[in-house]
Amino acid sequence: MRQLYTSPRPENIDRVVALLGEHGIECTVANRSNWNKPSYERFSYSQRKENRDRWPQVWVTKADDYTQARILLREIGIEPVIRHGEELALARNPTPELRRQSVATRARRIVMLAVAGAFVVLMLRYLGVL
């Protein structure tokens, strides 16, 4: 089994399952609610730190059908799930905010190394080694 699609909206999951069923592709749904409830929640697809593992997921049962299922999703305009796709894209093309954050992190590490080095020198002087 391979994950094909995930969405916080159960309606989208149902549509994808119906589309795959029309084309004879067996699939299962993981993380679906046990009972039908209105699912309007304020969520954002652009939130990067949100845990998407809790969203309902469509999994293709047979590995041979996975390629055809991906083609079907692309035909209707949905990009199938790519494992770690967002992280890979951010690593290749970092945003200005991420660049600033990495520079700040690097500066903090350099300062911490300098403080640690000064501490070691002071300790060696105290012990009489230097």
Query: How far is it, in rounded angstroms, from Cα 4 to Cα 94?
Result: 26
Question: What does the pLDDT average to over 16-21?
Answer: 94
Task: Determine the Cα–Cα distance for residues 124 and 109; give it in Å rounded to an integer.
Answer: 22
Predicted pLDDT at 91: 78
3-state secondary structure of 73: helix
Using pLDDT thresholds of 50, 70 and 90, give the confidence band for residue 22.
very high
Whether the pLDDT of residue 18 is over 90: the answer is yes
- Position 55 scores a pLDDT of 84
Proportion of the chain above pLDDT 90, given as a percent: 44
The sheet with strand 27-30 has its strands ordered as 2-6, 57-60, 27-30
> Which residue in this structure is represented by tokens 């949905």?
78
At 69 the pLDDT is 92
pTM of the model: 0.56
Mean pLDDT of 91-95: 83
Rg (CA), the chain: 24
| The predicted structure's pLDDT at residue 92 | 84
| Whether the predicted pLDDT of 130 surpasses 90 | no
Instruction: Give first-to-last CA distance, the chain, whole Å.
Output: 64
